[in-house]
Chains A and B, each alone.
Chain A
Amino acid sequence: GEDVEQSLFLSVREGDSSVINCTYTDSSSTYLYWYKQEPGAGLQLLTYIFSNMDMKQDQRLTVLLNKKDKHLSLRIADTQTGDSAIYFCAGEIISGGYNKLIFGAGTRLAVHP
């Protein structure tokens, strides 16, 4: 089955770029996703990338996908204190005939002044 791994913690200074990394094992994922979770809240879909793309940019967010190495990253430009949250990457697999998301453990991003 799919295994998704992320580093657990990242600390950056306000205004710097943040890069959150993720590796996955199942190359059959059609889409790969990044979700954000703020304290006491549900998950918010930030962005996603189709598996035949290398890069996707959406305002301050850039997603890079290296299919050969099964590596996904999320770059946040000009990181702000409001970006402090847990970021989950997720792959999509077929399980029992249905699509199912498999989440990584989450990376806690701390932004300091």
Chain B
Amino acid sequence: DTEVTQTPKHLVMGMTNKKSLKCEQHMGHRAMYWYKQKAKKPPELMFVYSYEKLSINESVPSRFSPECPNSSLLNLHLHALQPEDSALYLCASSQDRSTNEKLFFGSGTQLSVL
């Protein structure tokens, strides 16, 4: 199993809603990532978890709250988002946080904030 599975594939939410994005991998990877990708732009790193601990937060606003319940799961909790937060949210995993990060990406959740 070399897949990173993300749900839902599409999400439309209002600015007052609370929603969560989910990510799962069963490759035994110990590093998991959230990236944000705006249209026609490269992915930008948001958060990195290493061995279930948050190791990097790229100055992401607190309306985005990551959670790593176990080594296979990564969530991104969303609350009070703004329309400019509309983007493709990509989850990725890698063996660990050493050099030569071969990242495996999920297909992403396309988020629209109204």
* Given A98-B48, A103-B43, A106-B42, also A45-B55 (CB < 8 A): no
Return chain B residues, CB-CB under 8 Å to A105: 41-42
Instruction: Please judge, given known A-B contacts A42-B108, A105-B41, whether A98 and B97 are in contact too, CB under 8 Å.
Output: yes
Decide yes or no whether A70 CB sits under 8 A from chain B. Answer: no
Q: Does A43 contact B (CB under 8 A)?
A: yes
Q: How many B residues have CB within 8 A of the partner chain? A: 25
Q: Contact partner of A31 among B4, B40, B92, B100, CB < 8 A?
A: B100
**In the complex the two chains form, what is the Cα distance from A35 to B104 in whole Å?**
10
Q: Mark out the residues of chain B between 1 and 21 whose CB falls within 8 Å of any chain A CB in the assembled complex.
A: 4, 6
Interface string of B86-114 (1 = CB under 8 A from A): 00001010000111111111111010000
- Residue A7 is within 8 A (CB to CB) of chain B in the complex: no
> In the docked arrangement, what's the CA distance between A44 and B107, Å?
10
Residue of A nearest to B4 (CB): A42
Question: Which A residues are CB-close (under 8 A) to B102?
Answer: 45, 48
* 9 nearest A-B residue pairs (beta carbon): A42-B105, A103-B42, A43-B105, A42-B107, A31-B100, A42-B106, A41-B107, A30-B99, A99-B99
B interface list, Cβ under 8 A from A: 4, 6, 40-43, 45, 48, 55-56, 90, 92, 97-108, 110
